[in-house]
Amino acid sequence: MTSISLPPGTAVFWFVGLPASGKTTLARALHAHLGPQLAPGAVRLLDADVERADPRGVLYGLGWSPSDRLATVTALAQAAELVPVGLVTLVTSTAWERTAAQQLLGERLHLVHVDAPIALCRQRDTVRSTHAYRPDPPPDAPELYWVTPPNPALRLNSTKPAEWSIAELLAFAASALGLTESLTRPRPQAVVRRQPRR
């Protein structure tokens, strides 16, 4: 299949939601399905947790103070628009953080809210190697400031099976990028039928 070429900064899919809501899982699924269809290096996944922990990451050294939050949004937006399709995962707790992303990216921004109740997020967090929820969270912990976005471009119910959310996400991304849905739909697995023994 011929890869599709898109100009840098075509679209940024910005995944927001509480810690452990499923943002990274869905962003990785989109990356896996879009990557083979587009030119090499056309899709970049910017996971805020990874970028913050990696000394080479765009968020290394940043914390959760208001100024650091603005610097975080700015750094992720600037990095995401260097490639045709940027995928960002960040809690993005407050309206002003989302407004900052909107001002930086304009119509290229597609806000995807991964919606899950905090009780479920805390349950999921217990099986992760690095816990997002702390017994005594600091006053600037992002979950303490969370405000549900009223009008995201796409809202995914993370309590449903992941396959459902992935299917919704792929169809949405295909429409936003002007691709046919078949380009991003998971390929069906071949069914091997056993021959009856004679």
- Whose tokens are 């083979």? That residue is 36
pLDDT for the residue 134: 77
* Cα–Cα distance for residue pair 196/198, rounded to 1 Å: 6
For residue 38, what is the DSSP state?
Answer: B
- Centroid of chain to Cα 179: 19
Give the C-alpha separation, 137 to 133, whole Å: 7
pLDDT the model gives residue 191:
37
Where do the domains of the chain lie, and which CATH numbers do they carry?
Answer: 11-132+139-184 (3.40.50.300)
> Which segments of the chain are extended strands (E)?
11-16, 43-47, 85-89, 109-115, 154-157
Give whole-number Cα distances, 84 to 131, 164, 182, in Å: 32, 26, 20
Among 92, 65, 94, 66, smallest CA distance to 80 is for: 92
pLDDT at 196: 44
pLDDT at 181 (0 to 100): 54
Q: What is the pLDDT of residue 136?
A: 80
Q: What is the dihedral of CA 45, 46, 47, 52, to 10 degrees?
A: 150
> What's the pLDDT score for residue 115?
97
Which residue's entry shows tokens 């217990």? 126
> Exposed, middle or buried by CB within 10 Å (0-12, 13-18, 19+), for 4?
middle
pLDDT value, residue 187: 45
With beta carbons less than 8 A apart as the criterion, state whether 29 and 169 touch.
yes
The whole-number mean pLDDT for each consecutive block of 10 residues of the chain, a chain of 198 residues, reads: 72 96 96 90 95 96 92 97 96 96 96 96 84 79 88 96 95 89 47 42
Query: What pLDDT score does 4 carry?
Result: 75
Helix, strand, coil percentages in the chain from 3-state DSSP, rounded to 5: 40, 15, 45
